[in-house]
Structure 1
């Protein structure tokens, strides 16, 4: 870390402008630009871990950044011919729900609608995650999580608008597991993590033992940043094409607008910040995997601002007031 970067970070921390920051790793052109570890109360989903002293090997919830990792896995499995093409009808992949497939409106759903979070089904996650009124929690409590998602009331035509939906990711996780014949963590380890040299991770599961494709991953920040480097390299790593480059390009193509104006691809957010193109996976509490292609920069941020409406401020401040000035 340069003296300039260290001074900017210390000043920003002391001024309280990045409250709740647990760790940050920024890698530019394969070289570590920033590596910071702090301390604070942390949680694994809703279970308090107490005050944690974070370090290079400390695993951290990445929450909904998991969704973006699941999209990478879908691309790998698609390249292997193990999962359906995005244009394929979604309910055709869930043959046990023939009653739902008989509904002509639901029959219009495709895998791409799940990838774009545009299923058009009723789904609310703007309720605290400790409430069964939150759709993701209700899905976890349901006797059949996939039926729970697919039988939600239809609010609008599929593809019409983006609507945040962890259930869409759960469906993708099921397609990956079915197509590869392996649970999501096992396939993730073999197809993505081990080829990248990521040997330590956790993938938390619900009460039914199914790993959460939407929010279950725990990773060390260094390894999270490595996933960003993979995206920068269009899926290539150490001379091997891990994710098809065509999938990376498709995944990061802007398709719909989010409620706050960002664009959305296949489970990745697409924005512009300080004049730089930004693609990101985002998770509750301030978890971020940020990729800035024009700067050749991958940034992993973990934080403890869970359910805080201003949780976005810490990663944005870290970028704008610490990392960007050090790249000029």
Structure 2
């Protein structure tokens, strides 16, 4: 593994790599760091020399971590079960159309809400629904008022708004902010440092805001392989990683997690990756700087790690 990865790096085939941590059996077996321009959302941080403790945008890996935190809150009885109707959890929006009454929290967790949502435009323009959500006076009303365009549960459609709703349910149930609850119940007990990018309203983004060092991201993956280690209910991890919908490429999707034949993964813009390979007791965390690009560095490095 080490020889394959180092050959990729020597040959310049992963120019965007910022960090790589590989755990096997809970032990670090490979760790590499790079150098390059980095961003906190769309704000350039300049050229950064990455190290073990350098925080990095995880972008949409945040969605998968938010789902993990939902399980923590569910285990404490702070949030509703996924089968609960979504609008019932938002009584402050009782005026919203009744055509959404059949949408459940599970539809948000699986990104099968059936609402109009488009994140194909760059994340620098309000033509992108997630950016428009961030710019809206009330992000939750913006999401819940999107027109229903198909039967909920029918088809997977990428939607950062779904993750924002999940994060808000956690914050409402816990009576604190998402980042504070995640810190106190999951991250701090594991010795994990993290920060969250926040929207203009000061709310930490549950769709793309988490910043963390790759070794700490890998530590979260290890906790999942170990059944939650008493912090996350083991039954939630199983439930979260159960295929609920099939994607166009044939892979599966659970509760905010991508599911392959041998792997479970969280993906984020720019090449942010967390892979779990249970059969090999392996965790791979990757950070990279290819935002809004092809993100080839992350895949090339993962291929080298696995020998694919």
The TM tier, using the shorter chain, reads over 0.9
Structure 1 stretch displaced more, 253-262 or 183-192 = 253-262
Match of 2:303 among 314, 320, 323: 320
Structure 1 alignment gaps of length 5 or more: none
Superposition TM-score, scaled by structure 1 size: 0.92
Check if 1:253 corresponds to 2:242: yes
Q: Map residues 242-321 of structure 1 onto 2, 5 A cutoff.
A: 242-272=231-261, 277-308=262-293, 310-311=294-295, 313-321=296-304
Task: Tell me the SS of whatever aligns to 1:318.
Answer: helix
Q: Map residues 36-185 of structure 1 onto 2, 5 A cutoff.
A: 36-100=32-96, 102-103=97-98, 105-185=99-179
Task: Tell me the SS of whatever aligns to 2:133.
Answer: helix
Counterpart Cα distance in 2 of 1:154 and 1:24: 41
Counterpart Cα distance in 1 of 2:303 and 2:158: 26
The Cα RMSD (Å) is 1.2
- 1:43: how far off? 0.4
Match of 2:225 among 232, 237, 243: 232
Counterpart Cα distance in 2 of 1:29 and 1:95: 46
Correspondence for 1:16: 12
Counterpart Cα distance in 1 of 2:250 and 2:135: 32
Structure 2 alignment gaps of length 5 or more: none
Counterpart Cα distance in 2 of 1:50 and 1:317: 25
After superposition, give the CA deviation of every residue in 1:89-117 in whole Å (9 maximum; x if it has no partner): 100000011111x51x2000100000000
Counterpart Cα distance in 1 of 2:27 and 2:142: 45
Task: Tell me the SS of whatever aligns to 2:286.
Answer: strand
The count of aligned residue pairs is: 308
- 1:153: how far off? 1.0
Counterpart Cα distance in 1 of 2:249 and 2:143: 24
Check if 1:221 corresponds to 2:214: yes
Superposition TM-score, scaled by structure 2 size: 0.98
Task: Tell me the SS of whatever aligns to 1:109.
Answer: coil
Give every structure 1 segment of 4 or more consecutive aligned residues whose post-TM-superposition deviation is greater than 3 Å.
none
Counterpart Cα distance in 2 of 1:258 and 1:133: 24
Residue 127 of structure 1 contacts residue 134 of structure 1 at CA under 8 Å; is this kept in 2?
A: yes
